Structure 1
Amino acid sequence: MISKTTIDQVYETARLEEVIGDFVQLKKAGSNFKGLSPFSDERTPSFMVSPVKQIWKDFSTGKGGNVVAFLMEHEHFTYPEAIKYLAKKYNIEIEETEQTNAQKEAQDKRESLYLVSEYANTYFQNILHNTDKGKAIGLSYFKERGFTSETIKKFDLGYSLDDWSAFTDEAIKQGYQLEFLEETGLTIVKENKQFDRFKGRVMFPIQSMSGRVLGFGGRILTNDKKAAKYLNSPESEIYHKSKVLYGIYHAKQSIAKEDNCYLVEGYTDVIQFYQTGIKNVVSSSGTALTSDQIRLINRLTKNITVLFDGDAAGMRASLRGIDLILEQGMNVKVCTFPEGEDPDSFAKSNTLEELTTYLEENAKDFIQFKASVLYQSAKGDPIKKAETIRDIVTSISKIPDRIKTEVYIQECARIMDISEDVLFTTLAQLQNKEVNEASKQNVAAKKAFDVIKPEQSIKKVDVQYELERKIIEILLLYGDRTEEFEDSILKENEKGDLVEETVIQEAKVFEKIYLDLQEDEMEFLNPKFKSIYYEVINGLNQDPNFKIENLINTIDPVLSQEITSIMMEDEKYSLADWQRNNIFPKDKTISLSQLVSQTILHLRSFLITKKINSLLQQTDSDLTVQNRSIIEDVMDYKKLDNILSRRLGKPL
C-alpha cells in the first residue's frame, strides 16, 4: 500500500497540464488548454484542461476527472500505478509496505501481463550487460551498429540467450506464472514443453506513450534462413501492434515541441536518428501503417514527414499509408535517401547538421513525391499516365480541407501537364461517388430503423434534476465566496395576510444555500447530487482552506466524474473561440447573489407546484372534512406560489 503522505505529495506536486501534455498536444484557450480528444477520432478539439481547477473534460466522450483519472483512463493504470507514475515523473520518493505473495496473486490478469513484461525487460537488459555471452554477442552487435552505451540504456535494449528455455526457467523460478508468460508471447508452450520465443535474439522493448512495456521485437543474429530476421510479440491483452508506435515514449515531447513527426520503418532507424540528435521520430515497426497509429501522432502534431530508403518497390507499397494520413486531415511530406541508404545508415554516417539540412532540402510535399514515383513507372505509356493521375486525384479527394484540395489540384495539373478543369471534374466524380455510397448506406440504415421505430415523443425536461444540478454547480464554483443577498421575508400583517419584507444580508454562498434548503426542508432527489452536496457543505463548514480539487482527489470516482462534468460544463463554450468573433458570454460571477437566489426560488416554486398537484389528486367531489382540509392547504400553497411567481417574474 502507498502511504497517504506520498499520495498527498503527488497531488500537491503534479501539474495536470504537464502530465496530459505528454500525451496530447495542448494549445492555450484563455485560462485553459484545449486539444484533440485522446479517446475518440476527431478533427476539432473537444478536450479541455483547466490548470486552475486541475481537472480535465473530454466533451466528445463525456469522460473527465483529475490527473490520476486521466492516467487510469488513457493508460489503463490502476490507481496505485498512476500514483507511482506521477511520483517517478516528479521525483517523489514512494513510501509503501512490502507486498505479500497473497497480494501479488491477487493482481488482476492485465496487471500480471504488465508485471511479466517489465520483468522480461529487466532480465534481457541484465543478460546484455552482466553476462559473458550477453556482452560478447548482444552488446557487440549494438556497438557494431554504432549505438553508444548511453543510447543502449536509454532504449532498454537487451539480449535473450541462445538457450531453449533460459528466460522461461528463470521467470518461473522468480514466481511468475507460466500462464502469463505464454499470454504475453514470451514463452511458447507445446505438448507440455515450454521454450523461449526470442531465443538468441537482441531485444527491443516496445513501450506505450507512458513508458509501459507492452511487448518486444527481437532480431536474430545468426544466418538461419528458416527463422524470421525480426520477430515481434504476438497480440495480447496489453499489446496491439496496430495501435502502437515504436519510440513514441521517447519522442512525444520532441514531436509536440518541433510540431513535426518523422516516421520511419525499423527499430534501428528510430534509435540512430535519436542518437544523432533528431528525437521526434517513431516507427510502425515493420507493419503497415494504421489509422490508430496515425491518430496517436495526431494528438501531438498535424505534421508528418515519412522517410523511405531507396527501394522503389517498398516506396510504392508505402504510398497507401499516405492516403490514411491525408484522411486524418494531416500534412504529409516525404523524404527519400540516396540509393543503398536507409534512415539508420544515413544518420550514422552524417552529423546532426548534415542530417537536418538533408531532411529540410529533400522533404517533398506528398503530391510531388507521389507524382515523381508513379510518373517514372508510367513514362511513355499514356494509359499508365492516366491511371497515375487518377491515383493522385484519389489521394487528394481524401483531404477534408477544401482550400488544400484546390491547391493540390493546381499542383498536380502543373506536374502532370494536364488541365485543372479535367482534374476538378475527376475530383467531383470521385467525391460524388463517395457521397452516393454514403447516402445509400444511410437510406438502408434508415429503412432498417423505420421498421422498428417507436412513436416519436419529445423528451420531457426533468426540472428538479436541472435545478438540483444548478445548485451543485454554484456550490462547486462559488461556494466559498461572500456575497450580499437581498431576501424577502414573509410576514403576516394585521389582517393576517402574508406580505414581503426586503432585507440585505451578507453571507457565504454555501451558507445561504444550506440555510435556505434547511428552512424549507428541501432534499435532493438525485442520490449523486445529494452525496456531493453534503461532501461540499461539510468540507466548507469544517475547513477554511477547503478546496474542491482536493475533494476530487479523495471522493468516490463516480462522484468525482460528476463533479468534473459540472465544473467543466461552461468550458466547452471556449472551444468555439467566441471572443475572436466578438461574442462575449456573460460572466456568472457578475450577478452571483441573484443567480443563487433565483435558483433556490425556482426550486421552491417547482416543489410547491408539485405539492399542490399531489394534494389535488387526493381530493374527490364530496366535500368531506378531509377534502376541505386538503383544499385549505392547497389555497395556502397557492398564495405562497403566487408570491414566489411575482418575485421570479412568472405569469400568475
Structure 2
Amino acid sequence: MPPRVRQSDIEELKAKADIIEVVSGYVSLRPASSGSFKGLCPFHSEKSPSFNVRSSPAFYHCFGCGAGGDVYKFLQEIESISFADAVERLADKTGFTLTYDESGSQEVSNRSRLLAANSEAASFYQSQLASDEAKAARDFLLGRGFDAAACSQFGVGYAPKGWQNLIDHLTKLGYTLEELILAGLVMASDKGGYDRFRGRVLWPIRDANSQVLGFGARKLYEEDQGPKYLNTPETPVYHKGSVLYGLDLARKEIVKRKEIVVVEGYTDVMACHLAGHQVAVATCGTAFGEEHIKLINRLFGQTQVPASVIFTFDPDAAGQKAALRVYGDTAKFNALTFVATGPSGLDPSDLRQQRGDAGITQMLEAKKPLFEFVIRHRISKFSLTDLDSRVAAARSAAFVVAEISDPALRTGYTRALADWVSLDVNEVAALVSQNGKASNLEQVASMRTSPAPQPVVSNPQVRLERQILEILIQHPSAFNQDQLLRIYAAGLQDALHQSLMQLALAHKESLAQPDWVNILASESSDDLLSLIRELALVELPVKNEVELLRYAKGVVNGALMQALAREKIDLMAALRRMDPDTMADAVNQIQRQLMNLESERRKLM
C-alpha cells in the first residue's frame, strides 16, 4: 500500500488553505455577506447562484442540490479524485510539504505522478523543437505565422521520429513504463512499449491551473500513416469531454471580460490570442458538449453584464451541423451565444495569415446571434421565390423561434422571420405559437417524476409523422423525391422528425439505394441515430409483403392529404389578402391552384 500522509499534516494543511481561493480556481465567486461568497454551483446546472462558500468556518454548501463539505471534499468532487489525491493536490496548490507515516517517504499519489510525467514530457517536447530534426515542424509553424516566441508562449513542442526517445528520457527521471502507458504517453507492445507521439508537432493541453493533462499532435510527414491529429487517450487525468485547450492562458481574461471565443483547432487558439483576443479556447478532438457548457458557466458566474460565447464554426456543412448541435443546448448557457464565420470560409489561423490580426477582429465583430444563424440556415434551404416556398421556409424555422425562452426576443425573431420570408407577421406568429404549444407539452412531460406516457404519443400529428418516418426508413421506395419535398414543405411538428426529414432530403438521390439507412446513419447526430435505430426496428402492423405495400401507400397518401390541406390553407390566406379588382391575374392563378389541389385530393381518396 502507498504511504499515508500524517493526520496532523492533513489537519494543518486544511487550516492553512484558503477555501475561497481554492474554489475560485473553478467557480466565479462574488461577495454575498460577511465572510461568505456566492456563485453558480459547479455540481448542477443553474442560472441563479445558490452555491455558497465561507472562509470561517471553511466550508461550501449549495442550497440547490445539497452538495457541501470542506476543501478536501470540494476537490474530490470537482476533480473526481480520491481523498488522498485531494490532500496532495491541495498541498501542491499551497506549497505545503507533506510527511508520510512510512519511513518519512514523500512519494506522491498515482495522479500526481501522471501529472508530473506529463509536465516533464512537455518540457522534453518543447526542447526538441530547437533540434535539427524539428526543422519541418518549425517551418510548419512559421508558415502559419507562429515564431519562436509564440511557440514558447503556448509550449509548442516536437516529438522526435524515434520509437523510444521519450521513454528513455522519462525512465532516466525515475518514471516506470507502466506509469507512462497509464499517462497515455507510451503505447504498450510485446517488447515493452514505444512513444505514442513520433514525428509530430505537439501542443500541451493544460487545465485552468496550468497542469499538463495531455497532448494534441499534428502529423508532419507523408510516411506517417496515422490520423492528421492525434490526441492523448482518456486517462486518469485527461478527459477530453471536459477540457478546453488554451483555458490556462485565457481564464483570467474570460472571467474579466465575460466573453469566450470557441474555435476549432490549436492553431486557431494561437492566432486569436496573438491577434489580441485572449479569450479563445478549443475543444480537444471532440464535439462541444454539456461538460464544456458547465465549465464556461462556472467561469462566467453571475453578473449584471451579459456574458458572451462566440463560436467560430466553418460555414460549410460540417460547421453548420456543429452550430445546430450547439443550438440545441443554448438554454443551458448562462450567456448570450453568437456565431462568427471568416470570409471565404477561412478559419482564424488562415485568416490571420492572409489578413493579419485585424482580420480576426473584423470576423468577431461581425458575429451573429446563434438563433439568427440557425434560422437563416433553415430558410436558406428554400428558394423564397414563390408563396409555397416562403410558407414552407417559415414552417421550417418556426420551431426554432418557438424555443426562444425570452418573450421579447421571441417576438423580435418572429418579426424578423416574417420579414426574411416576406410573409405577414401574424401568420408567422401563428406558426410559432403552434410549435410553442407542442414544445411546452414535451417540456411538461420531461418534468414528471412518475412514469407516464409522453403527450406526443397521443398527439395525432406526431403519430402520423412517426408513421411516415417508419416507412421512410423501412420501405423508402414507397416515396418519390417530389413527395418527400412536399411533405417536408408542409412542416413537421416534432423537431427531431423535422431534422431527420431534412437529412433525408439532403440524400434524396439515394432514396432507392439498398444502403439508404446506412447513408443517413453515417451523418446523424447521436439523437438522430437513436431515432433511426428505433424506426428501423419498430414492428409495422403488416403480415406480408402485400400488406406492407398497402400500408405504406396508405401512410404516404395520408401524409400527402395533410400536405394538400395545409397548402390549401396557405392559398386561402393569400387569397384573402388580395384585392380582386387590382390583382385579378394573381387571384385567378390562386383559384387555379386551388382547383388543382382539389383534383389531387380526390385522386388520393
| Match of residue 368, structure 2, among 357, 360, 364 | 364
Supply the distance in 1 between the matched residues of 2:316 and 2:138 (Cα, whole angstroms): 33
Letter of the structure 1 residue corresponding to residue 47 of structure 2: R
1:305 matched residue in structure 2:
310
- Tell whether 2:26 aligns with 1:20: no
Query: Are residues 153 and 78 of structure 1, via their aligned partners in 2, closer, same or farther at CA, if it must alter by over 3 Å?
Result: farther
The alpha carbon displacement at 1:219 in A equals 0.4
Shift of 1:73: 3.5
Change (3 A) 1:114 1:5: closer
Q: Give the superposition deviation at 1:232.
A: 1.1
Q: Which runs of structure 2 are paired with 1:65-144 in the superposition (5 Å)?
A: 65=69, 70-75=74-79, 76=81, 78-87=86-95, 107-129=108-130, 131-134=131-134, 136-144=135-143
Of structures 1 and 2, the one scoring higher in RCO (CA 8 A, sep 6+) is 1
Shift of 1:419: 3.7
Amino acid at match of 2:399: T
SS in 2 for 1:395: helix
**Aligned mate of 1:347, from 347, 352, 355:** 352
The reply to whether residue 326 of structure 1 matches residue 330 of structure 2 is yes
Structure 2: unaligned runs, 5 residues or longer = 301-306, 454-605
Assess, with a 3 A threshold, how the Cα gap between structure 1 residues 6 and 345 changes in structure 2: closer, same or farther: farther
Answer whether contact 1:322 1:332 (CA < 8 A) is retained: no
Once residues 405 and 102 of structure 2 are traced to their aligned partners in structure 1, the CA distance between those partners, rounded to angstroms, is 55
CA distance in 1, matches of 2:178, 2:260: 38
**Are 2:181 and 1:177 aligned?**
no
Which amino acid in structure 2 is aligned with residue 315 of structure 1? G
Could you tell me how far apart the structure 2 residues matched to 1:356 and 1:99 are?
57
1:340, distance to aligned residue in structure 2 (A): 5.1
> 3-state SS of the aligned residue for 1:42?
coil
1:47 shift after superposition: 1.1
Tell me the percent identity: 28
Q: What is the aligned partner in structure 1 of residue 276 from structure 2?
A: 277
Q: For residues 236-286 of structure 1, what are the alpha-carbon distances to aligned partners after superposition, in whole Å with 9 as ceiling and x for unaligned?
A: 232221221111222122111111111110011111211222111111234
* Secondary structure of the corresponding residue to residue 339 of structure 1: helix
Q: After the TM superposition, which of the residue ranges 336-345 and 365-374 deviates more from structure 2?
A: 365-374
Gaps of 5+ in 1: 88-93, 449-652
2:589 corresponds in structure 1 to: none
Map 1:327-476; keep pairs closer than 5 Å.
Answer: 327-329=331-333, 330-339=335-344, 341-348=346-353, 355-360=360-365, 362-380=366-384, 388-437=393-442, 445-446=450-451
TM-score w.r.t. structure 2 length?
A: 0.63
Give yes or no for contact 1:168–1:196 (8 Å, CA) kept in 2: yes
Whether the aligned pair in 1 keeps the contact of 2:316 and 2:345 (CA below 8 Å) is no
| Cα deviation, residue 334, structure 1 | 1.3
Report the equivalent of 2:153.
Answer: 154
Shift of 1:415: 2.6
CA distance in 2, matches of 1:95, 1:436: 58
Q: Residue 224 and residue 384 in structure 1: after superposition, are their counterparts in 2 closer, same or farther (change >3 A)? A: farther
User: 1:378 corresponds to which letter in structure 2?
Assistant: F
Question: 2:159, 2:200 within 8 Å by CA — same for their partners in 1?
Answer: yes
The amino acid across from 2:41 in the alignment is S
**Preserved CA contact (<8 Å) 2:10 2:87:** no
Is the CA contact (8 Å cut-off) linking 1:290 and 1:324 kept in structure 2? no
Which runs of structure 2 are paired with 1:34-53 in the superposition (5 Å)? Answer: 34-50=38-54
Matched, 1:260 2:256: no
What's the offset of the Cα at 1:52?
Answer: 6.7
Task: Work out the CA distance in 2 between the residues paired with 1:3 and 1:349.
Answer: 60
Per-residue CA distance 1:106-140 (angstroms, 9 max, x = gap): 655444433332332232223224x4434x34344
* TM-score where L is the length of structure 1: 0.59
Cα distance in 2 for residues equivalent to 1:396 and 1:18: 42
CA distance in 2, matches of 1:420, 1:238: 53
**Are the aligned partners of 1:207 and 1:248 in contact in 2 as well (CA < 8 Å)?**
yes
| Residue 176 of structure 1: how far off its partner (Å) | 2.3
- Larger Rg belongs to: 1
